[in-house]
Amino acid sequence: MSEPGADPLSIAIRVEDPALADRLAALLADVAGIRIVRAGAGAELVLSSVAAPETLTQPLSGREREVVSLLAEGLSNKEIAVRLGIAPDTAKFHVARVIDKLDATGRTDAVAHAARLGVIHL
């Protein structure tokens, strides 16, 4: 809530969908203490749309989620095997499946993809 005589809050709307941008502008146009400005015109606040998050074409299994979490800790296949109580070859298989399902180029890239997709939280 703005104080009487205070400068209005300048808001720019940067949304790809023109109809949505118009609706937002119309909703905010009559609000006291708010002034709609062009994007890039020195707005104090910018309302913008966010692209829809990526989704996996093949969801990770529970075990694969565990494996990618351990990858994020920097563990080797052997260390993952010990931590999960599985054979090293099985850990190697799970790591390969995680990399494949996340369409990653390697272990580090798999962790980055998993974090961006919300599979793990760093």
pLDDT tens-digit profile of 75-87? 999 999 999 999 9
Does residue 51 sit in helix, strand or coil?
coil
Confidence of residue 106 (pLDDT cuts 50, 70, 90): very high
- At 62 the pLDDT is 93
Amino acid code (one letter) for 60: L
- Mean pLDDT, range 84-107, rounded to an integer: 96
Contact 24, 13 (CB under 8 A): yes
Counted residue by residue, the chain has a size of 122
- Mean pLDDT, range 47-73, rounded to an integer: 83
Beta-bridge partner residues of 46: 12
- At 40 the pLDDT is 64
Contact 16, 49 (CB under 8 A): yes
Q: Please state the domain extents for the chain.
A: 9-48, 62-117
* H-helix or E-strand spanning residue 79: helix 77-84
Residue 7, CA distances (Å) to 4, 24, 46, 80 in order: 9, 21, 17, 58
Amino acid code (one letter) for 32: A
Question: What pTM, to 2 d.p., does this model score?
Answer: 0.58
* H-helix or E-strand spanning residue 94: helix 88-101
Enter the CATH code of domain 62-117. Answer: 1.10.10.10
Distance CA(111)–CA(115), nearest Å, equals 6
pLDDT at 110 > cutoff 90: yes
